[in-house]
Amino acid sequence: GGVGKTTLAKEFYNRERSHYSKCYFLYDVRDNADKGSLNLLQKELLSSLCGWDKPIVSVDEGIGILKKHISTPNVLLILDDVDKADQVYELLPDLTLLHPDTLVLITSRYRDVLISSGVEESSIYMLTGLTTQHSHELFCLHSFNRPHAAPAFESLVQKFVEACGGLPLSL
């Protein structure tokens, strides 16, 4: 992690949400799944899609209900930090039922999770870290409020930049 997937997804969501009648950003799906809270995410998603206000007792029950409601038109949905294909299925049980006007963006560290979930390879974009030059500039902007370090600090800055490996959150 640390390349900025969630940050970019948030920015995209905030910029595009006004173009959709219903929007929902499901944060940290991986952590919620680990805590056994996927049925709570299902309820939140259903509440956003169709005003669902009843409890969802189990993930299987949620899957059945979601199948009836995921065809809602003009929806923007972000699934953040998915690490297993089952998580996508439990939140979007049948991708073929999604309305053509619906846009789903899924962030994941793992390309194979997306492919296993039925996402077309041509729809997958893999983020890469920053170049050394961009890393240097970002570090200096945050550290010195300018794009370059004073000569006395240059070697130290270079060590930090190398240690961070192009990851914006590390810088």
Residue 6 pLDDT level (bands cut at 50, 70, 90): very high
Task: Give yes or no for residue 4 having a pLDDT over 90.
Answer: no
* Helices and strands (H, E) in the chain, number of each type: 8, 3
Residue 17 pLDDT level (bands cut at 50, 70, 90): very high
Q: Which residue carries 């192009």 as its tokens?
A: 166
Task: Give yes or no for residue 1 having a pLDDT over 90.
Answer: no
Name the average pLDDT for the chain.
92
| Residue 167, token pair as written in the block | 């990851």
Please work out, in degrees rounded to the nearest 5, the angle formed at the alpha carbon of residue 111 by the alpha carbons of 62 and 46: 20
Residue 132 CA to residue 81 CA, distance in Å, equals 26
Residue 129 pLDDT level (bands cut at 50, 70, 90): confident
Residues 90-123: pLDDT tens digits? Answer: 999 999 999 999 999 999 999 999 999 999 998 9
Q: Which residue carries 């041509």 as its tokens?
A: 122
At 113 the pLDDT is 95
Task: Give yes or no for residue 171 having a pLDDT over 90.
Answer: no
* pTM to 2 decimal places: 0.82
At 65 the pLDDT is 94
At 167 the pLDDT is 86
At 162 the pLDDT is 92
* Amino acid letter for position 68: K
Mean pLDDT of 54-81: 94
Tell how far CA 5 is from the center of its chain: 6
